[in-house]
Amino acid sequence: MMYSPKVMQHFSNPQNVGEISDADGVGEVGNPVCGDMMTIYIKVKDNVITDIKFKTFGCAAAIATSSIITTMAKGMTLEDAEKIGRKDVADELGGLPPQKMHCSNLAADGLKLAIENYRRKLQGLPPKSGVTSGEER
């Protein structure tokens, strides 16, 4: 299985690793089939993602997709960040092997869930958690 140089770069030197203790939104997703688990943390100010971090337990592709989605979403409005889909993540990394596309689904799903949980928090609702099959939502 061959990974693009950009996948290897984000796997070897991931960006925005860690957690935000007072995060405005947290998206926790996983795929029970492959065992990948991802948590995305966001800070929001004036409808813009001002900080974003992740913690991922998974393969090289899962770590790379987590890293790239954080660099893509930082500075975006919530509406623009929600539009980032699995193809966008894979394209930004220079492609992923077909059997690893589910990893980009997790990254996109984790970001969407963090945004949804931020909005739920504003409404006084409890957060959601997501375990996905890796299919597009």
| Helix 60-73, helix 101-122: angle, nearest 10 | 50
Comparing CA positions, the residue from 46, 3, 4, 51 lying closest to residue 25 is 51
Least confident of 17-26, 83-92, 114-123, 128-137: 128-137
Chain-centre distance of CA 60, in angstroms? 14
Residues annotated as catalytic (active site), given as ranges: 34, 103
3-state SS track over 96-124: CCHHHHHHHHHHHHHHHHHHHHHHHHHCC
pLDDT tens-place string over residues 21-35: 999 999 999 977 778
**The pair of three-digit structure tokens given for residue 133, joined into one six-digit string:** 């099959």
pLDDT tens-place string over residues 67-116: 999 999 999 999 999 999 989 999 999 999 988 887 778 999 999 999 99
Spatial separation of the C-alpha atoms in residues 125 and 119, rounded to whole Å: 9
Domains and CATH numbers, the chain: 5-123 (3.90.1010.10)
Q: State yes or no: pLDDT of 44 exceeds 90.
A: yes
